[in-house]
Structure 1
């Protein structure tokens, strides 16, 4: 985790949460020295991961930039698949891409299947990637893109707990809840870029 992305939360003199990168000696609300807490300081869970450290997952990232510094809710997202060895497979304008680690240092990962499905995951991924459909000449931004590649793979898995019938349903089940949690962290993180603390209203 980037040390700059550390966000700490605590409560001192009232029920209002104080967020900071480092706990201050004096309370920002009452200005008294902090001897005890209403809520002990704890580090907010960091929602992002490096794709190579999240094998057997589906991963998303902004198409341009990264979540922490650049992402807005109207921005396009890019999606890929991580195999059991941590290699990222994605479909984009150049066609099928493997192992573009630098662009997947700050992403959201979705664990879709249990550990026992790892071999099947890799087998279906190889089969999906071998389809000539995923060549650069077939890429279409709106009709045959990274999302279509991932959804075709997931449907081919035939995992019984994974039920969706459209891109919209997949987004509702998996992507939107994770993005909403990440946005809470992003909002606080950005407020702390130019301030020592942020007090929740």
Structure 2
């Protein structure tokens, strides 16, 4: 689910394409020259970049806002149902805390749950890499705070968001209200995700 930028050396414009790219259909929008579809790896470029056999062409993968692998040491968010690829702003979201091993701790109707899967393709809101004792802090927090049992869960008043904010207060990160946290960390990143996948779907539809 990546978008790549395609450049033809010497021409003023570039093109965007959704991966997997149909290299046979790549044509320079400025000079109309077709690309050689044979693509070779280049050790001088990062893994997200490739060069064509014809060295006048380059292709660079644009940064994707979501994490395809397991997130670690961070506050992460994902749609409660489905994938960010089809996310709309009114859809419900689920937020959790990824420990240093990539397991995500979150609060929902069954109480606090630890998931080693299901959080791929999530969005990192806050990095907690600077907290070397993150895993131990999570353990102590869950053992000492009895408010996060399944009988006390409420979709509207005591949910996964409260669990994350209370943990941030516990480790001395900052005392956020839900509104302040959303303004600082969530809104702009969600807008970026929606823009990225809206463009991805448009490019994919154009083949």
TM bracket, shorter-chain basis: 0.7 to 0.9
CA distance in 2, matches of 1:180, 1:164: 24
Cross-structure match for 1:118: 132
Highest relative contact order (Cα 8 Å, sep 6+), 1 or 2?
1
Relative to structure 1, the CA distance from residue 16 to residue 193 in structure 2 (aligned partners, 3 Å threshold; closer, same or farther) is closer
Q: May I ask how many residue pairs the two structures share in their alignment?
A: 182
Give the alignment partner of residue 142 of structure 2, picking from 120, 129, 132: 129
Distance 2:16 2:115 in 1: 40
Does structure 2 retain, via aligned residues, the 8 Å contact 1:11–1:18? no
Structure 1 residue 169 displacement after superposition: 0.7
CA distance, structure 1, for counterparts of residue 129 and residue 114 of structure 2? 23
Structure 1, gaps ≥5 residues long: 197-201
Going by fraction, where is strand more abundant, 1 or 2?
Answer: 2
Structure 1 segment 1-201 matched on structure 2, within 5 A: 5-12=1-8, 13-15=11-13, 17-21=15-19, 22=21, 23=23, 24-28=25-29, 31-34=32-35, 36=56, 40-50=58-68, 53-68=70-85, 70-99=86-115, 101=117, 103-115=118-130, 117-119=131-133, 121-130=134-143, 131-159=145-173, 163=174, 165-196=176-207
Deviation of 1:187 after TM superposition, in Å, equals 1.3
CA deviation digits over 1:1-24, x for unaligned, max 9?
xxxx13111355544643343254
Counterpart of 2:164 in 1: which secondary structure? helix
Contact 1:56/1:81 (<8 A) preserved: yes
Structure 2's unaligned 5+ residue stretches are 36-53
Please provide the CA RMSD for this pair.
2.3
Deviation at 1:191, TM superposition (A): 1.1
| Distance (Å, rounded) in 2 between the aligned partners of 1:172 and 1:82 | 21
Q: Does the C-alpha gap of structure 1 residues 9 and 118 become closer, same or farther in structure 2, counting only changes over 3 Å? A: same
Q: 1:29 to 1:93 in 2, by over 3 A?
A: farther
Q: Deviations over 1:123-150 (max 9, x none)?
A: 2211221222111110000100000000
Query: In 2, Cα distance between the equivalents of 1:9 and 1:33?
Result: 16
Are the equivalent residues in 1 in contact too, given 2:78–2:84 (CA < 8 A)? yes
- Calculate the TM-score normalised by the size of structure 2: 0.77
Aligned 8 A contact 1:19 1:188 in 2? no
Give SS of 1:189's match.
helix
SS of 1:132's partner is: coil
